[in-house]
Structure 1
Amino acid sequence: MDDEAMTGRDRGSHGAQPNGRPGRRLADEVHDTLLRQLMSSRFMPDSRVTIDALARELGVSQTPIRDALNRMEADGLVVRVPHAGYRIPPLISRERFDDMLEIRLLLEPAAARHAAERATTSQVSHLRRLLEEMAGLEEGDGPTAYGAFGLRDAAFHDLVAQSAGNQLVREALARLHTHVHLFRLVYDTQVTYLAMGEHDEILAGIAARDPDQAAYAMRQHILLSGDRFRRLFDDTRLGDAR
């Protein structure tokens, strides 16, 4: 979302009715923009973030910035500092990473299995579109593309969980904010390249209505992703961040 587009929508949102749908859409876009920046190392761990500065940078009023930051605070992605705006939290610890991986291994292969059994044709098509968008971003360069890839990576996994038909599982996975935390660990386009083939295998199993293939592909993806990120904890930078 470019600054000019946001500014225009923001001007239009001031006259919105109490249901606030135009403003709500803007807040969602600002929220996604901030998540992209968070995942692409635009915000450093423990750095301060102020509403005024973000409003000026993005060319919007303070209202959508405040709404987006409130949502991120509720999700544990930023920390409110009294009379000083917000603070970016530290990177996840090795212990948190291992716990998160264990939960994913318990829930996501089962979700992929059920998605192969229950996904609608529309959901399969949506999964395919997400992978096509991710492939286009993978060819891009820079932190912006990396953060946008992370958002679609999260959307892909969320849609698999939604297609499985168990809302509690979907909500449990969403609360982990796995992709935000992992993509914050390092800016490395190799992460996106390796994930693409693994996503293709997951979708192939779901599209073929093969529960075993879908579950196996998801489990392998989580394990391989875990190995890629686990090595980062041996890096001095991450050791210091803990």
Structure 2
Amino acid sequence: MTEATKPKSNGNGLIKRPQRLADEVYSILYSKLMSLEIEPGNRIMIDALVKELGVSQTPIREALSRLEAQGLVVQTHLIGYSAASQLEHDKLEKLFDMRLLLEPYAAENAARLISDEGVERLKCIDAVMQQTESRELRGKFLDFAQSDGQLHDLISSSSGNELVHDALARLHTHIHLFRLLYLPSATKDVNDEHAEIVDAVSRRDGTRAFKAMKFHIEQSRRRFLDQGSKSESE
């Protein structure tokens, strides 16, 4: 092996793997979990993933650690990794209670404090979601879920209150809600509600932003709880 063809070292004698590999493994596992291909509560076998993905254990473990931080997987001593359980009805109710306390406040403050750059980012995220119609959502499910999370996260991070932002981030709200239930028929309603929030924040109208976010959370609560009740009765 010539000097030019030797693998590059990171200075510790270890070959440095491209970060892209770890990111790709993460994306694959994220998709499997969000689409319920890996069902809630099921064990995640690292050796099986090694064979399926054709990679070593290292990028898989890195991806699982990231997913654990997001609340999508849990690690149990002497057992290993499993897909996180779905939210139970009472916890879902409490999650929406928390959102109603924090997110309208965050939207009101963001309308006053968000930067011009933040407004443009908010509009861009909203524009991507607005292009997704109900009939197209199945193929764009993960993109829609991620954009929804980005929109809400940007608003809370622009509120000027890092404690509110951290609290909402720890709830992993959007990951759990989109994993909990697939609601393609609600796409237009969600987009209409988001458009009202984004317009209010963009116009620096805190009172309107507060009301728009409160209405959106209340409608989201109704959609998920109503659909959950239907599923239980079927």
Write out per-residue CA displacement over residues 210-236 of structure 1, whole angstroms, 9 at most, x where no aligned residue. 001111111110000000001133245
C-alpha distance in 1, partners of 2:34/2:187?
13
Specify the SS of the correspondent of 1:164: coil
Specify the SS of the correspondent of 1:45: coil
C-alpha distance in 1, partners of 2:152/2:17?
27
Q: How many matched pairs? A: 225
**2:67 matches 1:72:** yes
Residue matched to 1:4: none
Tell me which of 144, 148, 165 is aligned to 2:160: 165
* CA pair 113-139 structure 1, distance change in 2 beyond 3 A: same
* CA pair 236-153 structure 1, distance change in 2 beyond 3 A: closer
> How many percent of aligned residue pairs carry the same amino acid?
41
What amino acid maps onto 1:129 in structure 2?
C
The question of whether the paired residues in 2 share the 8 Å contact of 1:138 and 1:149 is answered with no
The question of whether the paired residues in 1 share the 8 Å contact of 2:114 and 2:159 is answered with yes
* CA pair 74-95 structure 1, distance change in 2 beyond 3 A: same
Tell me which of 210, 213, 227 is aligned to 2:222: 227
Write out per-residue CA displacement over residues 156-197 of structure 1, whole angstroms, 9 at most, x where no aligned residue. 100001111211111100000111111112223123332111
The question of whether the paired residues in 2 share the 8 Å contact of 1:113 and 1:211 is answered with yes
CA-based RMSD of the aligned residues comes to 2.8
Write out per-residue CA displacement over residues 21-79 of structure 1, whole angstroms, 9 at most, x where no aligned residue. 952x5534543443343222222122222223334545544322211211222443212
* CA pair 82-98 structure 1, distance change in 2 beyond 3 A: same
C-alpha distance in 2, partners of 1:123/1:147?
23
Tell me which of 123, 129, 146 is aligned to 2:141: 146
What amino acid maps onto 1:186 in structure 2?
L
Normalized against structure 2, the TM-score is what?
Answer: 0.83
C-alpha distance in 1, partners of 2:131/2:150?
16
C-alpha distance in 1, partners of 2:55/2:124?
30
**2:45 matches 1:50:** yes
**Contiguous gaps of at least 5 residues in structure 1:** 1-13
Specify the SS of the correspondent of 1:201: helix
**2:33 matches 1:38:** yes
Deviates more, 1:149-158 or 1:139-148: 139-148
C-alpha distance in 1, partners of 2:161/2:17?
28
What amino acid maps onto 2:193 in structure 1?
E
* CA pair 53-193 structure 1, distance change in 2 beyond 3 A: farther
Cα shift at 1:17: 3.6
C-alpha distance in 1, partners of 2:46/2:194?
36
**2:103 matches 1:131:** no
Structure 1 stretches of 4+ with a deviation exceeding 6 A read none
**2:167 matches 1:198:** no
C-alpha distance in 1, partners of 2:186/2:48?
31
What amino acid maps onto 1:101 in structure 2?
F
Write out per-residue CA displacement over residues 72-100 of structure 1, whole angstroms, 9 at most, x where no aligned residue. 22443212255654221321011110111
C-alpha distance in 2, partners of 1:76/1:122?
30
The question of whether the paired residues in 1 share the 8 Å contact of 2:134 and 2:185 is answered with no
Normalized against structure 1, the TM-score is what?
Answer: 0.80
